[in-house]
Amino acid sequence: MNSSEGAQHKGSTPYVLAVEEGEHLLLGQRRAPFWIKASTATGSHHLTAAMERIRPGDAIPVHRHQDADELIFLHSGSGSIVLGDTEVPLEAGSLAFVPRGTWHGPRNTHPSTELHILAVFSKPGIDGYFRSIGSKPGEDPPSLPPSEEADLEKRYGITYR
């Protein structure tokens, strides 16, 4: 084993988070329950990971990331995901690989059960976007003018369909 194999990145400390641990936010006007699990703030220098609960009938708006691949793992529930111009069914245990630049958006099609997803982004930093559009439980959601939303989307490489 060379000296870099198995070595931690300087400043990184391993950790384990339970399902509702991490930085808890409610995203946008949807007020979607969301937890940042790994980010530069937690010592992750190469990726960002987050968990989201999607309520019955709700969806993450179709969007794409210009500079990050994304893995979306469906932990529980059932639904579908838009990938490009196709909508594909999802069931618990499904994993969607979304290459950068691909239109995508998970949707909960179940009438009464939440969809629980874990999203892992190949580039750190998108957690700043989530903090900008989210609020802590008990706080009002941010009211961003369209120009500020556009600036955030440009800064974080996100485009909505």
CB 105 within 8 A of CB 58: no
pLDDT digits (tens, 9 = 90+) for 1-42: 333 344 455 668 999 999 999 999 999 989 999 999 999 999
Question: What's the confidence (pLDDT) of residue 9?
Answer: 53
pTM: 0.91
CB 58 within 8 A of CB 110: no
Continuous segment of H or E residues that includes residue 28 = none
Domains and CATH numbers, the chain: 23-160 (2.60.120.10)
Question: What's the confidence (pLDDT) of residue 2?
Answer: 39
pLDDT digits (tens, 9 = 90+) for 119-140: 999 999 999 999 999 999 999 9
Contacts of 58 (CB under 8 A, 6+ apart): 30, 32, 107, 108
